[in-house]
Amino acid sequence: MSVTQQRKERERAAREELILEHGRRLLLRDGFQNLNLDELARTVEYSKGTIYLHFETKEDLALAIATGALRERAGLFERASKFTGLTRERMRAVGFACCQFAVVHRDYFNIEMTLKSPSFWEKASEERRRQHGLQASRLFHITNTIVTEAVRVGDLPPGARTQDVALSLIAVTMGSHIAAMQPDIQMLCGIDDPIAVVRRNQDLVCDGWGWKPLLQDFDFAATDRRIKTEIFPEATWCKV
Amino acid sequence: MSVTQQRKERERAAREELILEHGRRLLLRDGFQNLNLDELARTVEYSKGTIYLHFETKEDLALAIATGALRERAGLFERASKFTGLTRERMRAVGFACCQFAVVHRDYFNIEMTLKSPSFWEKASEERRRQHGLQASRLFHITNTIVTEAVRVGDLPPGARTQDVALSLIAVTMGSHIAAMQPDIQMLCGIDDPIAVVRRNQDLVCDGWGWKPLLQDFDFAATDRRIKTEIFPEATWCKV
DNA sequence: ACGTTTATTGACTTTAAGTCAAAACAGGGC
DNA sequence: GCCCTGTTTTGACTTAAAGTCAATAAACGT
């Protein structure tokens, strides 16, 4: 590839990044339905036609934005997985990463929900769906690796299928994030700290599997302090 | 109110029911975004204007459909809550009800997800939002009542806040339904029976709270048989 | 400087939600 | 049965926004 072509490729990538950046802002502000590509075009100071040179459809754009966020989340998971300690402490660090992400991208889960419907998914391009799947499996594998290690060292019962453990953690985390953010559920359940809800529910599921050490047998507050100090010093939301 | 007015009111209600019925079918087939009110008008053999005499916006219609489904779900919960036995068995009956609903309305959760975004919610009418909240709180109270009873009789530790227990069950159920229905997660986790995933995860959370009797100490297969026989004979999906 | 290729544009097409003036209908009095 | 009046229903119209593409501008090589 010639030098000129390389430069053009760089410029193209920079422009795509610019569109994604402003797109993310508008998507979070307005939701997918109300995201207006004419407005986005005005904002990034390119024509709508140019946006369509990068993204096949509005859904394609939204999926690309979501994938970017997912990549960032996977990055936090990776940092968390480097935490040293008992397997349950390491899992806790991943849970911490998940909350850190939720705090920084407060409304990301609303977008993620929009994606889950088949009628959305099928309007995005093949390639972008692949990219999204790639990041999703990164997240899964980080979780699953720690679970596998836990079974190996006997912190989890030998009968537990690792994917089932990972799945239960994914499900409870997703569900807790959504539920704890709903105003009506907040009211009914008297929630004042949604993040605390997510972490408590993750603990419940780990305890449910009999993942040692159980909540009652160990000082996880100390673990949280270490996670915060060693891995996520930027996590000002964590009061430990 | 005159006899004529009463008849007109009945006819109006019947028409609304007709619109909701066909609306539900099209909404499940096409998703919210692709639901076409011109097509719906043709299907119910009324004009689009008439549909707008019943519903302020497309969102309003979709919310009404969702509320109908929620009402049905609450009905199943109510039936389940009449089950006699230990508190954990009664909770299990409610979990069973939830799965029964999920089997009958396989794709309902996709719709429910669409609702959760503020940009959707704010386009529905005040009254329909109230109705939806009403049904949601019915569901919550059935769950919460059983949890309260469990704390009272000592099946749950006295320290547990009942809303926290209820919330964790709501969250894990919601999350499991969504996660277990996603094709990519099914692939990664090797899911062949999504309903089994939901029930297992509900058990994990109950065990996590220390809700007696724990899974390992009791024959819940016998409970499931009783639930099926006594409350949900129509639940052919349940193999016990 | 000039022709050729590539990149960008925004006016245009299309689709579908939402509106409302006009048409159809129903009920009651004669 | 017919007309008049108030109510219901309609579907052509307005509007908004996604997506397209012929025309234009910029970049490039000679």
Q: CA of B38 and C1' of C26: distance in angstroms?
A: 27
Token pair of B195 as six digits: 């309903």
Place of tokens 């093949």: A126
Listed residue (A102, A105, A92) closest to A174, CA to CA = A102
Residues of chain B with pLDDT under 70: 1-4
Distance from CA of A221 to the nearest CA of B (A): 19
A156 touches A177 (CB < 8 A)? no
Q: Do B182 and A34 touch (CB under 8 A)?
A: no
Q: Do A116 and B178 touch (CB under 8 A)?
A: yes
Name the average pLDDT for chain A: 95
Q: How far apart are CA B49 and CA B41, in angstroms?
A: 9
Question: What is the per-residue pLDDT across A74-84, written as a single tens digit (0 to 9) for each?
Answer: 999 999 999 99
Q: How far apart are CA B115 and CA A116, in angstroms?
A: 13
Q: Do A31 and B120 touch (CB under 8 A)?
A: yes
pLDDT value of residue A109: 86
What phi, psi does A55 have (nearest 5°)?
-130, 130
Q: How far apart are CA B69 and CA A151, in angstroms?
A: 41
Backbone dihedral region for residue B31 (phi beyond 0: left; psi -120 to 50: alpha; all else: beta): left
pLDDT value of residue A156: 98
pLDDT value of residue B110: 84
Q: How far apart are CA A100 and CA A151, in angstroms?
A: 27
Identify, with chain letter, the residue nearest to nucleotide C8 (CA–C1').
A50
Cis peptide, bond prior to residue A213, ω within 30 of zero:
yes
**SS3 call for A55:** coil
Question: What is the per-residue pLDDT across A14-42, written as a single tens digit (0 to 9) for each?
Answer: 999 999 999 999 999 999 999 999 999 99
Helices A3-34 & A37-44 angle (0-180, nearest 10):
140
Q: How far apart are CA B192 and CA A220, in angstroms?
A: 35
> Is pLDDT at A7 greater than 90 in this prediction?
no
- Give the pLDDT mean for A56-78: 97
Q: CA of A13 and C1' of C8: distance in angstroms?
A: 16
Cα A219 to chain centroid, rounded? 27
Count the Cβ atoms, other than its own, within 10 Å of residue A155.
20
Half-sphere exposure of residue B74: CA atoms within 13 angstroms, side-chain side: 18
- Give the pLDDT mean for A1-8: 72
Cis peptide, bond prior to residue B183, ω within 30 of zero:
no
According to DSSP H, which parts of chain A are helical? Answer: 3-34, 37-44, 48-54, 58-81, 87-104, 108-115, 118-121, 126-153, 162-181, 183-189, 194-209, 220-230
Q: How far apart are CA A227 and CA B199, in angstroms?
A: 32
DSSP string, B129-169: HHHHHHHHHHHHHHHHHHHHHHHHHTSS-TT--HHHHHHHH
Count the Cβ atoms, other than its own, within 10 Å of residue A78.
14
Token pair of B90 as six digits: 């009664």
Q: Do B179 and A174 touch (CB under 8 A)?
A: yes
> Is pLDDT at A167 greater than 70 in this prediction?
yes
> Is pLDDT at A204 greater than 90 in this prediction?
yes
According to DSSP H, which parts of B154-218 are helical? Answer: 162-181, 183-189, 194-209
> Is pLDDT at A2 greater than 70 in this prediction?
no
**Is any atom of nucleic acid chain C found less than 7 Å from the CB of residue B123?**
yes
Count the Cβ atoms, other than its own, within 10 Å of residue A36.
12
Identify, with chain letter, the residue nearest to nucleotide D8 (CA–C1').
B50
pLDDT value of residue B45: 96
Listed residue (A191, A28, A172) closest to A94, CA to CA = A172
A110 touches A62 (CB < 8 A)? no
pLDDT value of residue A1: 58
Lowest mean per-residue pLDDT among A48-57, A204-213, B5-14 = B5-14
% of chain A with per-residue pLDDT over 90: 88
pLDDT value of residue B47: 97
